Chain A
Amino acid sequence: AQSVAQPEDQVNVAEGNPLTVKCTYSVSGNPYLFWYVQYPNRGLQFLLKYITGDNLVKGSYGFEAEFNKSQTSFHLKKPSALVSDSALYFCAVRVVYGNKLVFGAGTILRVKS
């Protein structure tokens, strides 16, 4: 069975500091991994994905994520946080050729000025 864990309900960061939002996953087989962001009263926006190849994936708004197969992790990072990055972030996993996208519970990111 597929599962995703986002161990932190909330991450607080000062503006200008680096941020990390953690995600670990469990699948049987090779994974596709995704990060989505949800701003208040908005739908989910796609940020980035890992399919294959380079373990460091770059996405929208300056975000990046590193796929670590041995640790089954896909942490979201940004070198310098902005107040406008404050939102709810979801990690998701899908098995290659699978039909189901499984989401983590979400992590609230709060960036304070």
Chain B
Amino acid sequence: EAQVTQNPRYLITVTGKKLTVTCSQNMNHEYMSWYRQDPGLGLRQIYYSMNVEVTDKGDVPEGYKVSRKEKRNFPLILESPSPNQTSLYFCASRTSGGRTQYFGPGTRLTVL
């Protein structure tokens, strides 16, 4: 089944404790991206990647890092999480020429 998977689905952590949210897609998509969803703000793009080893900042990249060492994986790294990063995070992917992005199930992160 074609899908985007994220792990973990739920995470509660404390300020300053490094964490990684994994994202994987099995559709051989070149383009992957991370969004955060906050009430009243919709989804905002954090980072995106056009292909392996090619990443760029989205609208709200501060406090986040990403890497794209393999085509299928696009982990989101929070080196020192803070409470304002409490949010619902979505990973998405599409082909380089594709019009439609496909989203993962989301990761609900709480930073205390």
User: B64-72, B75-83, B98-106: which one contacts chain A?
Assistant: B98-106
* Contact yes or no, B103 A44, CB < 8 A: yes
The closest CB in chain A to the CB of B44 belongs to: A103
Q: Indicate the member of B50, B99, B101, B106 with the most A CB atoms within 10 Å.
A: B99
* Contact yes or no, A44 B90, CB < 8 A: yes
* Contact yes or no, A100 B45, CB < 8 A: yes
Bound Cα distance A100, B46 (Å): 10
* Contact yes or no, B90 A43, CB < 8 A: yes
Contact of A42 among B48, B101, B102, B105 (CB under 8 A): B105
Contact of B99 among A43, A44, A49 (CB under 8 A): A49
Query: In B27-66, which residues have CB < 8 Å from any A CB?
Result: 31, 33, 35, 40-45, 48, 50, 56, 58-59
Q: Which secondary structure characterizes the binding site on chain B? A: strand
The closest CB in chain B to the CB of A44 belongs to: B103
* Contact yes or no, B100 A46, CB < 8 A: yes
* B104 / chain A contacts, CB cutoff of 8 Å: 43
* Contact yes or no, B106 A43, CB < 8 A: yes
Bound Cα distance A45, B40 (Å): 19
Bound Cα distance A103, B58 (Å): 13
* A45 / chain B contacts, CB cutoff of 8 Å: 103
Binding site for B on A (CB under 8 A): 4, 6, 9, 32, 34, 36, 42-46, 49, 51, 90, 92, 94, 99-106
Given contacts A9-B40, A92-B43, A99-B31, 11 further A-B contacts (CB under 8 A): A4-B42, A32-B99, A43-B90, A44-B43, A44-B103, A45-B103, A99-B48, A101-B101, A103-B44, A105-B40, A105-B42
